[in-house]
Amino acid sequence: MPPFFGLTSKYRTNLFRQIHEVIFYGNGGYDWDTVYNMPIWLRNLTFNLINDHYKKQNQDTSAEDSWLKGDARSAAQERKKITPPSYVTKASKK
């Protein structure tokens, strides 16, 4: 039977996780008291904006990494095309 007053344990867990993530990923822009006392709509908006920022940053990094992998692959293929010279030189014996 849920209590009449207070939050359920699931809601409390989600609330404190959201507060933690806003503070942690906000890079020092927020403190715990400020985020805890924010209106719910503002806290959700802040959380979603930070989440969207890191998703976009992750996509940009992934695209850059895939380009680098492709560039490294083409460099490896170029190395395979290079053949060492077939002659051998010997020092003269004097």
* DSSP state letter for 91: -
Residues of the chain scoring pLDDT < 50: none
Longest dimension (CA), the chain: 105
pLDDT digits (tens, 9 = 90+) for 59-68: 877 776 666 6
Residue 62 within any structural domain of the chain = yes
Number of domains in the chain: 1
Using the structure block, give the residue that is written with the tokens 């207070």. 6
Please give the residue range of the domain that contains residue 63: 9-81
Q: Supply the pLDDT for residue 80.
A: 63
Residue 45 within any structural domain of the chain = yes
Residue 63 within any structural domain of the chain = yes
Residue 29 within any structural domain of the chain = yes
* Integer Cα distance of 30 and 23 in angstroms: 5
pLDDT digits (tens, 9 = 90+) for 4-14: 677 788 888 99
8 A C-beta contact, residue 47 and residue 21: yes
* Integer Cα distance of 23 and 43 in angstroms: 11
Residue 3 within any structural domain of the chain = no
